Amino acid sequence: MSISQKEMYETYFPNIMEQGSEYYKYSLVLVRRAIPGEYIETWTADGLETTNYAKFGDFVLQNLQTEYMEKYIVTEKVFFERYQFFYFSDDVHAVYKPIGKVKAVTYIGEDLTFIAKWGRSMMLKNGDFLVSPYPFLDEVYRIAAKEFFESYNKVLN
């Protein structure tokens, strides 16, 4: 049984806002346009995190500075809000640097599965981070602990 995104948001967003801290992503990403219908699996150090199918206009991103170099799909809107061109890698790929921030809190609890904003199952394990991206703070998703520490730094006030 999976928990819906609405239930995740209602249950965990208040905790993220009250107990969480602001982080910025620093890990560069390799980017290309997705092929509509393309299937991507996101693998982390602790296994299959989620899957997704690309829609027209989506991008496939691959983290370049994490051990597992996980791939994921983002919408065109999200891509241009959260990433900035860095340099061309080849004729198909470019490297972008992240400009987005998240509010995040460590998840303490039983392992569970929930439905991410993109409509696919996502695992959540004790010690992972629950995040909500700025500026909209309109969703809750998981970033595995190992990959979080390989990709994010706390914003110092």
Query: What are the pLDDT digits (tens) for 53-65?
Result: 999 999 999 999 9
pLDDT exceeds cutoff 90 at 92:
no
Q: Please report the pLDDT score of residue 135 as a whole number.
A: 87
Residue 66 pLDDT level (bands cut at 50, 70, 90): very high
pLDDT exceeds cutoff 80 at 157:
no
Compute the average pLDDT of residues 91-105.
Answer: 94
CA distance 114 to 92: 33
Residue closest to 31 by CA, chosen among 73, 65, 68: 73
Instruction: Provide the total of helices (H) and of strands (E) in the chain, helices listed first.
Output: 3, 14
Say which residue the tokens 């992972």 belong to: 128
CA distances (Å), origin 22, targets 32, 137, 151: 28, 12, 13
Retrieve residue 126's tokens: 């004790």
Determine if the pTM surpasses 0.95: no
CA distance 26 to 3: 30
What is the DSSP code (8-state) at residue 67? T
Average pLDDT, the chain: 95
Compute the average pLDDT of residues 80-95.
Answer: 91
